[in-house]
Amino acid sequence: MKLQIEKCIYGGAGLARAEGKAIFVPFTLPGELVEAHITEDKRSFANAELDAVLEPTQNRATAPCEYFGACGGCQYQHADYSAQIEIKLGILRETLERAKLSHLPEIIPIHAAPFGYRNRARLHIQRQPFALCYKRRASHVNLPITHCPISAPIVEQAIAIVTRIGAAYISEFEEIEFFTNEEQSELLVSLWTRKRDRELSEKLRQFCEMLQRDLPVISGAAVFVTEKNQTENKLFAWQAQALTYRAGEHSYEVSIGSFFQVNRFLVDRLIQLVTADHSGRLAWDLYAGVGLFSLPLREKFEKLIAVEAAPSSSNDMGKNLPDSQAIRSSTLDFLRHKHDTTPDLVVVDPPRSGLGADITALLTKVRPRTMVYVSCDPATLSRDLHALVESGYRLASMHMVDLFPQTFHLESVTMLSID
């Protein structure tokens, strides 16, 4: 059928309508006339696959990656980068409006180079024939790859070398991850296995020593075992278990297994957005990770409390904030015991699930003068902002930070205040 694409939706597909039914077509752009066929027909919507672009827009681009379309990692390489920014701004704005949030501030976009930005890549290991793989779009089927243009050059180099040498050393493992710092001067490698086999320790050593011959920046590695219904446990280690990541005016220790922002070009700008122009007596950094925002906030406030639940990130946070109050706790448990304290500033950077009703309600009782909400999901952000605005906060400013170019994911930084 021929379809006119109205807009792009969160997830990457273009939206068209036929006889009143919404039809979602991947790899299309607003304003395009396309030909597509239905692959899944539901009562209120249908999913389709693109057959041909009959009338392309001027924003259509040729994807630079040969795996685009087959790989499930990127959704927007068919759009030039300016169009990607406009699409994401529109999706964020519409999601907020759908949550009945009025008096929205202008959403200011922040972006950088759209390729080579990822400091981390995690891939599946295929045994026969040996290959490093992402998953094919909308499936669990392996897609062997030899390069990834959105990854940092040193990560791409590591993928190519491991593809060449890995069969002799790591074919028994399930997954591999590469993580580099901002200068690409250090590289950590993580491997995952389902086996508790002592022989894997020797395999790890041999693999790392061979990899180090071609890639001297590799500084450490670890093997994690993942067992059903259990958290990951580190089984073996080789040399350094952390790297030093310089961001803004500070250096951070980041261990294998700890969370850190993935876009090496925008970490500094993200820190500025979250921490600039704030000062006072007391600040809380909730979901603090390794202390990315805590270090600059510590210099602006008389007292800082940083809260993180994940063991690896929490350990790093304690090392990065030796003179501050670093607490290993869930945000919910921390807030349940802090009703009698009102900070000047609260920074929240929750996972994709957002704050949720309980945490939002507790924050409105604490009632800090200013909150900064860093979000990676427009839907949960809109839900939480609606509750905060209903309790008396106003949206003072909002930025869309494109930490994930070529994909549908977007980050936002919202400042809320009570006048």
Residues 128 and 197 in one domain: yes
Residues 269 and 408 in one domain: yes
Overall number of domains in the chain: 3
Which of the 8 DSSP states describes residue 78?
A: T
Strands 280-286 and 301-308 turn out to be parallel
Residues 6 and 53 in one domain: yes
CA atoms of 306 and 380, how far apart (whole Å): 23
CATH assignment at residue 196 = 2.40.50.1070
Task: Classify residue 198 as exposed, middle or buried by CB count within 10 Å of its CB (0-12, 13-18, 19+).
Answer: exposed
CA atoms of 341 and 185, how far apart (whole Å): 43
Q: What is the pLDDT of residue 231?
A: 60
Residues 267 and 233 in one domain: no
Q: What residues of the chain score a pLDDT lower than 50?
A: none
Domain that includes residue 36, residue range: 2-60
Look at phi and psi of residue 184 and say left if phi exceeds 0, alpha if psi is from -120 to 50, else beta: left
Residues 280 and 329 in one domain: yes
pTM comes to 0.96
Residues 308 and 411 in one domain: yes
Q: What is the pLDDT of residue 339?
A: 64
Residues 33 and 135 in one domain: no
CATH assignment at residue 356 = 3.40.50.150
CA atoms within 13 A on the CB side of 126: 16
Residues 294 and 317 in one domain: yes
* Contact (Cβ atoms closer than 8 angstroms) between residue 263 and residue 318: no
Does 218 fall in a domain?
yes
